[in-house]
Amino acid sequence: MEMMASWLLAALGIYLLAGLVIAVPFAWLGAKRIDPSAADGTWGFKLLIIPGGAIFWPYLLMRWMKGSPPPEECSAHRKAAKG
């Protein structure tokens, strides 16, 4: 059991280290590619998105490589605004 826990913690550490390596350049370069409103983000904004980028790095890396824009919100308010 102890060996399995150490393997799990090692895997988690590797995942988060890879996430940090991806999240820092993503915050400064990639965020503006997938979300145009992030292009004018301050350094404080970029620092705030690093922890989330480190956790969700596989998804963000995929979106960054595709260059896909964010999905359009589909809510009752947006539908009412369209008419």
Tell me: the pLDDT tens digits for 25-70?
Answer: 999 998 888 888 888 889 999 999 999 999 999 999 998 898 877 7
Q: Which residues of 4-42 are buried (b: 16+ CB within 10 A; e: fewer)?
A: eeeeeeeeeeeeeeebeebbeebbeebbebbeeebeebe
Q: Which helix (H) or strand (E) holds 49?
A: helix 43-55
Strand locations in the chain (E): none
pLDDT digits (tens, 9 = 90+) for 16-25: 999 999 999 9
Q: Count H helices and E strands in the chain, helices first.
A: 5, 0
Give this prediction's pTM: 0.72
